[in-house]
Amino acid sequence: MAQVLEFKLPDLGEGLTEAEIVRWLVEVGDVVAIDQPVVEVETAKAMVEVPCPYGGVVTARFGEEGTELPVGAPLLTVAVGAPEGSSGSGEDSGSAPESSGGSGNVLVGYGTGAPAARRRRIRPDRVDRPVTEAPVSAAPVGKTPVLEAPVVKVLVADASVTEGPVPVVSPLVRRLARQNDIDLRRLAGSGPDGLILRADVDRAIRAAEETATATARAAQAPAPVQTQAPAVAAAAAPNGVAAAGDAERIPLRGVRGAVADKLSRSRTEIPDATCWVDADATELMAVRAAMNAATGPSAGPKVSVLALLARICTAALARFPELNSTVDTEAREIVRLSGVHLGFAAQTERGLVVPVVRDAHTRNAESIGAEIARLTELARTGKLSPAQLTGGTFTLNNYGVFGVDGSTPIINHPEAAMLGVGRIMPKPWVHQGELAVRQVVQLSLTFDHRVCDGGTAGGFLRYVADCLEQPAVLLRTL
């Protein structure tokens, strides 16, 4: 006999507590294999395809696309085991089939090495009780002629039934009923063994809405002689004043919600300050052009401006390690970090993300550039894992790609600083005592004033500017 197993939304790691269903990859009735992806979800960190640890037939899905589910909420149920008609004793049918143990190849926080505990379904007595069709109609209101309300038929259990468990498995169904004041004890489920499904609750909600609408329409019907009151006329106007106040509400969830939470926390907890400086990047651009034009044994992959800026940042952090730190507020300690995990801001269709180049302090410009290119491509396709979006110690924000000169960045909590880089463009500049057109860029450093004073932040920013203006300065640290 087949056994129905419930697959819940697993712990996706990195402290994530919820995820939004983006796209179902299977339908009810589909046959799935062990470890086959069944749903694509979006967390605050990344898009993830969730594999099912059971093989069998999908019997139910919980949640429509766009629904946000907490970790541990049911995702779907799968019927596993022998098909009907196969031989087996009653004792054997009480244990999970061997194949239902799963593969163990699953996400953080849940495993299939041990057999899943069987979820016993309580057979409600309600299934055997008489079910009546309850016609609902609107009552007349006073002597005013009324419009007859449509008769809505809803299957309800015997009104006298108040004892026993309610046959509902999904917490989403319970919440939906609770939000719409639907008494689950009065519903007769259309699922197996009288299980109340979301469709049953939806039907009850629609029936209640139709009844309420018909009643309201009947109550507002005008008397044959009386003139319609101004208040009633205003209410009946399809494009009245109330419509003018309508506004679109967009939920703060997914990447947008995570960004909002993190930036709000940064502004609340971190006493930040910003300093900035203009720098002549003409020599840096010339050095980059020479690197990329090299041929023969000296030739290599093209080096981006962002890769050079990242390498300059790692050199600056080696001189000013105070900015590669974080603050432990509970212990009241500054935690100075030994390694540099460099985050860089990347704008994608899903919003702003900050991939992290691990151990950037051990890489040269070419290695950093290759890793930035790899992570950027993953960001564009929405395939960055949570681990690739967390753990940064310092962030580089190149907002010059948007065609702007300057900004005051918000620190990526719990880091201590962020370097912002504007666009590099020709500007009049005094060079060697003469006015000339040079490639000028504005740099801004936002820092946590708890980890250092302005002298340290100014020294860091000045060193970065010197490296841009005189790239040979970097040779000392190579």
Write the single-letter amino acid at 155: L
The separation between CA 17 and the C-alpha centre of its own chain, rounded to angstroms, equals 10
| The two three-digit tokens of residue 246, written as one number | 């309508």
**Rounded to an integer, what distance in angstroms lies between the CA atom of residue 422 and that of residue 404?**
6
d(CA 371, CA 357): 7
Exposed, middle or buried: residue 186 (CB in 10 Å: 0-12, 13-18, 19+)? Answer: middle
57 class by beta-carbon count within 10 Å (0-12 exposed, 13-18 middle, 19+ buried): middle
Amino acid, single-letter form, for residue 219:
A
Q: How far is residue 83's CA from residue 57's CA, in Å, rounded to a whole number?
A: 10
- Cβ neighbours of 197 (radius 10 Å): 20
Q: Beta-carbon neighbour count of residue 90 at 10 Å?
A: 7
Looking at the DSSP bridge assignments, the partners of residue 301 are none
Q: Most distant CA pair in the chain: distance in Å? A: 99
| Residues 354, 342: Cα–Cα separation, whole Å | 9
What values do phi and psi take at 366, rounded to 5?
Answer: -65, -45
C-alpha torsion 247→248→250→251, nearest 10: 60
Structure tokens at 274: 């910003």
Contacts 24+ apart (CB under 8 A), 217-221: 217/147, 217/149, 218/138, 218/140, 218/141, 218/146, 218/147, 218/148, 218/149, 219/141, 219/144, 219/146, 221/144, 221/145, 221/146, 221/147
| Edge-to-edge strands, sheet with 74-80 | 3-8, 74-80, 56-61, 31-32
Q: Where do we find the tokens 């990859």?
A: 25
Residue 449 known to be catalytic: yes
Instruction: Please name which of 195, 183, 174 lies closest in space to residue 123, comparing C-alpha atoms.
Output: 195
Contact 126, 167 (CB under 8 A): yes
User: How far is residue 172's CA from residue 170's CA, in Å, rounded to a whole number?
Assistant: 5
Name the one residue in this structure whose structure tokens are 């395809």. 49
The residues carrying an active-site annotation are: 449
